[in-house]
Structure 1
Amino acid sequence: MKNILKVRMLGGFTLEYKGKELVLDRNNVSKTTQLFQLLLLHTQDGGISKAALIDALYGRSDVENKNGSLNNTIFRLRKQLTAAGLPESSYININGGMCTWDPDIETSVDVCDFKQTIESARHEKSQKTKMEIYAKAWKLYTGEFLPDMMGEDWAAVENIACRDMYFDCVEELCHYLKTEEKFEELYRVAHSAAEIYPFYDWQIWEIDSLIGMSRYKDGLDVYKRTTKLMFDELGLSPSAGMLERFKLMGERTSQAAGAIEDIKYRLREKESIEGAYYCTYPSFVDVYHVFGRMMERTGMSVFLMLCTLDFINIETDDENQKYYSELLRESIQKAVRKGDFYTRYNIQQYLVMLIGITQENCTLVSKRINKEFNKRLTRRKNVSIDYYVASLGEVCND
């Protein structure tokens, strides 16, 4: 059995030789570690030039003798590799300005295998075989390329290149598996992609697979987790694709007819909360449509109020934005009447629907919100709320 140096760069950096994990350097971003990673990254394409190594390792530094610094780093790396437990060798062959890894020490580098597999899939003519090869590439991609090295230019460039290859691979697989109605496989592929890249809408494919298996409750759970994550971390509302699937799942999870008392019990609010009724953005959109229709028939007066946090020319971090957003939510809850509705549009804005009110009284509502907000304001005072008010009739006509 051959002794192979197994190298993982996707999802982290680890080395294994003869079944044991090797520790090269306690500092994962040291120059010797980076040199080793760059050499291994080019084991299948003829090596890497000294000029490219100097640019990657010392391009942004003020080192005067960069060639001498590289030679010193090579010397130190050789000593570290021997101390780590690899067999005696020069490890790095230098010929004609090109640096290559010693071929006598066989390596298996996951990122090289991944890229080679992607290229093989791209050149395959048979659709079925192409998808089988893409499935192998998907399994190889266990995480981002060297996530701890993103501060280095060379690693960031490689990270993005690998990410784009992975996205192409997953997109191709998801389309194929959905068309073939292989929903369990689709779920595994999409769920894995969403775990690695939670902000790129892979959850849409995940939900599609669950809809395909009639697992609507699980699909709704994915929707709720994803929309919460997107709002909490990025301040974003659900995408059009997510909203479309939310409505579809809602239609398909309608409960069977039951006794009127059971229905009344299920419709009852689970807890009595004073003030305005908070609902999710998709629900608010539905309420908006309902009252838009009611206005046409009854002439009811309904106004839409947009409340926007204004940080008055100051920079604020995510933590502070979340803090002030929650203060505004509490203030609206307290200041607005029980028969009105509100939702969070993004981290700095809330939408309030005011039922049976005049334009003049909307100003009173904004004053009540301001009063409640200022009562809760314990941090810096240079934060205010801007208001925009429009009749629902005007909004609908626009």
Structure 2
Amino acid sequence: MDNNLKIKMLGEFSISYNDNTLNDSTSRFKKVWSLLEYLITFREKEISQNELIEVLWEDENLSSPTNNLKTLVHRARNVLDSLGYTEGKNMIKFSRGSYHWNNDLDFEIDIEIFKNLIDKAKFSDNKDEKLEYYFKAIDVYKGTFLPKSAYESWAVPVATYYQNMYITMINDMINILKEKNDYQSISEICEKAVIIDPYDEDLHYHLIYALAKNEKNKEALEHYEYVVDLFYKQFGLNLSDKLTSLYKTILDTTKNVELDLNIIKENLKEKTYSKGAFYCELGLFKELCQIEARSIARTGVSINLALFTIIDINGAPIKQHIMNKYMDKLHSSIQESLRRGDVFTRYSLCQYIVMLPSTSFENADMVSGRIARDFKKKIAKPDLDIKFTISPLEPNN
């Protein structure tokens, strides 16, 4: 039987001994866990009562903070007692007016294991050995440092430290594996990495590139579409030229030589029938606009662009997850109100842009007004409004 205490801080916070495990779902005292997290994170030093009070009751005015702290430590020791390892008072020590975690205990902690593996890899000149350490480190790094305390001011720099260490490791692994042409391993480690850090665009790039190298173009293109949607919804951002260029390269090489035009025509068809306007990502929308702008000079056909923007009439900021719900409603209003030949895309966090071929300004204004009314009916929020502007697409001379 393993007599070591096991502490996890990456992806979760838990303390285990044999078959007993404590985590923040086993206690109703949130501050107990904050205390333990802080003591274990800074286990190499004695922490004054004043420092702990400031950390744990940062925005609270307490009549007797020292007594509050003593009560909290007593509760934490009682929680630790339930592990059956040793008495809680032997795990949290008090001396000279300060508290500290007992480093004389036999315990292993995942952040130390992770860092030791990274250090061993860093000082190894053998790339195979380096990869071996890295793969072990990946198994240890289960996620962000103390995710439930992610917004605590003291935890942010520590979480950033380990996150940067993790990303640096992944990038080094990718470089080594590229030399070996091991794109299967690259795709596997990137698939895990983008779950842990979904907003690192480089990780998505390497994953898409590796999938394409493994001739999994369908999966590569699907992941690109997922990333486009993710970045639009969270930040209202377009992807980098580097990633969109990779997307176009994969598209260009997706199809093998096919001489049967009927088969090609079948492949070009929409896979599923959908009513209303055609939605596409911004890069494709730009190219469609450029194609139409070329034809305008020759045909003289009128094409209008309509830009829809969701705003709060009081100027108050709208939280991203709330905005995403409103944007889904607007997406529905646009798609349902337009013809199948019309095209639209998400332009920013709170905007859609629509291309309306063969329409006069008056018709475009009428259609846009209908979309705005339908959207406002769907959300029924008096403090929310939608603005639209219309402008003709200019021909390319």
**Range class of TM-score, shorter chain:** 0.7 to 0.9
Cross-structure match for 1:346: 348
> Larger deviation: 32-41 or 125-134?
125-134
Residues in 1 aligned to 2:315 and 2:351: alpha-carbon distance in whole angstroms:
17
> Larger deviation: 324-333 or 210-219?
324-333
Residues in 2 aligned to 1:272 and 1:85: alpha-carbon distance in whole angstroms:
62
Any residues of structure 2 matched to 1:131-280 within 5 Å, and which? 131-201=131-201, 202-270=203-271, 276-280=277-281
Alpha-carbon offset, residue 108 of structure 1: 0.6
Which letter maps to 1:290? I
Q: 1:309 to 1:363 in 2, by over 3 A?
A: farther
**Deviations 1:249-276 (CA, angstroms, capped at 9, x unpaired):** 2112124314233333333445665654
Cross-structure match for 1:305: 306
Alpha-carbon offset, residue 2 of structure 1: 5.1
- Is the 1:7–1:15 contact (alpha carbons within 8 Å) kept by the matching residues of 2? yes
Cross-structure match for 2:46: 48
Cross-structure match for 2:102: 102
Residues in 2 aligned to 1:198 and 1:25: alpha-carbon distance in whole angstroms:
26
Alpha-carbon offset, residue 210 of structure 1: 0.9
Which letter maps to 2:214? M
Which letter maps to 2:184? E
Residues in 2 aligned to 1:58 and 1:309: alpha-carbon distance in whole angstroms:
39
Alpha-carbon offset, residue 205 of structure 1: 1.6
Q: 1:255 to 1:302 in 2, by over 3 A?
A: farther
Q: 1:254 to 1:243 in 2, by over 3 A?
A: same
Cross-structure match for 1:366: 365
Cross-structure match for 2:12: 12
Residues in 2 aligned to 1:351 and 1:109: alpha-carbon distance in whole angstroms:
51
**Deviations 1:66-114 (CA, angstroms, capped at 9, x unpaired):** 4444344333333332233122462233445554433453011112322
**Deviations 1:226-252 (CA, angstroms, capped at 9, x unpaired):** 323333444444443432222122112
SS in 1 for 2:344: strand
Residues in 2 aligned to 1:347 and 1:114: alpha-carbon distance in whole angstroms:
37
Q: 1:62 to 1:112 in 2, by over 3 A?
A: farther
- Is the 2:342–2:356 contact (alpha carbons within 8 Å) kept by the matching residues of 1? yes
Which letter maps to 2:357? I
SS in 1 for 2:387: strand
What is the Cα-based RMSD across aligned positions, in Å? Answer: 3.3
Residues in 2 aligned to 1:134 and 1:308: alpha-carbon distance in whole angstroms:
46
TM-score (normalised: structure 1): 0.83
Q: 1:97 to 1:137 in 2, by over 3 A?
A: farther
Q: 1:49 to 1:118 in 2, by over 3 A?
A: farther
% identical aligned pairs: 26
Which letter maps to 2:148? D
**Deviations 1:276-314 (CA, angstroms, capped at 9, x unpaired):** 443332322232232344446666554433333344335
> Any unmatched runs of 5+ in structure 2?
none
- Is the 2:190–2:206 contact (alpha carbons within 8 Å) kept by the matching residues of 1? yes
Any residues of structure 2 matched to 1:87-126 within 5 Å, and which? 87-88=86-87, 90-96=90-96, 99-122=99-122, 124=123, 126=125
Residues in 2 aligned to 1:56 and 1:312: alpha-carbon distance in whole angstroms:
39
Which letter maps to 2:376? L
- Is the 1:145–1:159 contact (alpha carbons within 8 Å) kept by the matching residues of 2? yes
- Is the 1:307–1:385 contact (alpha carbons within 8 Å) kept by the matching residues of 2? yes
Residues in 2 aligned to 1:309 and 1:363: alpha-carbon distance in whole angstroms:
22
- Is the 1:335–1:365 contact (alpha carbons within 8 Å) kept by the matching residues of 2? no
Cross-structure match for 1:30: 30
SS in 1 for 2:82: helix
Q: 1:211 to 1:48 in 2, by over 3 A?
A: farther
Which letter maps to 2:26? R
Q: Does 1:84 align with 2:86?
A: no
- Is the 1:24–1:80 contact (alpha carbons within 8 Å) kept by the matching residues of 2? no
> Any unmatched runs of 5+ in structure 1?
none
Alpha-carbon offset, residue 192 of structure 1: 1.0
**Deviations 1:330-385 (CA, angstroms, capped at 9, x unpaired):** 4444555554432222343222233355xxx2243122220243145321355232
Q: 1:76 to 1:307 in 2, by over 3 A?
A: closer
Cross-structure match for 1:389: 391
**Deviations 1:182-238 (CA, angstroms, capped at 9, x unpaired):** 212212221111111222222222112112212111212222233233334444444
- Is the 1:41–1:111 contact (alpha carbons within 8 Å) kept by the matching residues of 2? no
Residues in 2 aligned to 1:95 and 1:103: alpha-carbon distance in whole angstroms:
14
Residues in 2 aligned to 1:246 and 1:120: alpha-carbon distance in whole angstroms:
37
- Is the 1:31–1:73 contact (alpha carbons within 8 Å) kept by the matching residues of 2? yes
Which letter maps to 1:90? N
Alpha-carbon offset, residue 23 of structure 1: 6.0
- Is the 1:22–1:85 contact (alpha carbons within 8 Å) kept by the matching residues of 2? no
TM-score (normalised: structure 2): 0.83
Which letter maps to 1:242? L
- Is the 1:121–1:134 contact (alpha carbons within 8 Å) kept by the matching residues of 2? yes
Residues in 1 aligned to 2:98 and 2:222: alpha-carbon distance in whole angstroms:
53
Which letter maps to 1:171? N
